[in-house]
Amino acid sequence: MHKKLNISFDLDSTLIPNGKEFETEKHHSLAKILKIETIRKGSKTLISDLQQQGHKIHIYTTSFRSKRKIRRALKYYGIKVDRIINEKENRKVFNSLRINASKYPPAFGFDVHIDDLEGVNIEGNKFNFNVIVVQPSDKNWIQTIKNRINSFKD
Ligand SMILES: [Mg+2]
């Protein structure tokens, strides 16, 4: 039995491409009209697989997109997440913490954070939180994440 985790995902260059850095899910013309962003291919399967295993999935981004906009885009792709932390909320919490980092997942109860930036991993080592770094170029990104998640034991 694996531990049930609160897992947070970064958005930019992790789930949402910056340009054409990875393949994306189908994006119909209606989505374009509604200004729904494209999402990394396999995101829905990965997130629903993790949820089926009993993990809770959250979004943790340092972008200022509104929570509503993020939730709406995810919903378009059939993805439902628990909490969404954007930069507005991140800053609010950081003002009360004396931590000099860009992200601090434990402040929101997240056990593991998934991000494209090695810098976040360095912060994780410094402030003792778990980060899974996924390169935008990693074609096996889903397996990379699942292997690391499964390595967290009770
Ligand atoms: Mg990023």
Per-residue pLDDT 10s for the chain (154 aa) are 568 999 999 999 999 999 999 999 988 888 888 889 999 999 999 999 999 999 999 999 999 999 999 999 999 999 999 999 999 999 999 888 878 889 999 999 999 999 999 999 999 999 999 999 999 999 999 999 999 999 986 5
Count of beta carbons in the 10 Å neighbourhood of residue 66: 12
In a domain, 27, yes or no: yes
Strands 130-133 and 56-60 turn out to be: unpaired
The token pair that represents 113 in the structure block: 């954070």
In a domain, 130, yes or no: yes
Domain total for the chain? 1
Going from the Cα of 13 to the center of ligand 1, the distance in angstroms, rounded, reads 5
Going from the Cα of 154 to the center of ligand 1, the distance in angstroms, rounded, reads 28
In a domain, 95, yes or no: yes
Going from the Cα of 101 to the center of ligand 1, the distance in angstroms, rounded, reads 14
Question: Domain range spanning residue 19?
Answer: 6-150
pLDDT at site 30: 85
In a domain, 86, yes or no: yes
Going from the Cα of 137 to the center of ligand 1, the distance in angstroms, rounded, reads 13
In a domain, 89, yes or no: yes
The CATH number assigned to the domain holding 111 equals 3.40.50.1000
Look at phi and psi of residue 134 and say left if phi exceeds 0, alpha if psi is from -120 to 50, else beta: beta
pLDDT at site 31: 87
Going from the Cα of 1 to the center of ligand 1, the distance in angstroms, rounded, reads 31
Going from the Cα of 54 to the center of ligand 1, the distance in angstroms, rounded, reads 25
Going from the Cα of 52 to the center of ligand 1, the distance in angstroms, rounded, reads 25
Going from the Cα of 64 to the center of ligand 1, the distance in angstroms, rounded, reads 13
Determine the 3-state secondary structure of 54 from DSSP. coil
In a domain, 1, yes or no: no
Q: Are the CB atoms for 37 and 16 separated by under 8 Å?
A: yes
- The reply to whether the predicted model has a pTM over 0.85 is yes
pLDDT at site 130: 97
The token pair that represents 4 in the structure block: 């049930």
HSE (side-chain half, CA atoms, 13 Å) at 15: 24
pLDDT at site 96: 84
CA 154 to chain centre: 22
Residue pointed to by tokens 């930036």: 117
In sequence order, what are the residues at sequence separation of 6 or more whose Cβ sits closer than 8 angstroms to the Cβ of residue 135? 116, 141
Going from the Cα of 4 to the center of ligand 1, the distance in angstroms, rounded, reads 24
pLDDT at site 154: 58
Going from the Cα of 14 to the center of ligand 1, the distance in angstroms, rounded, reads 6
pLDDT at site 28: 86
Going from the Cα of 35 to the center of ligand 1, the distance in angstroms, rounded, reads 20
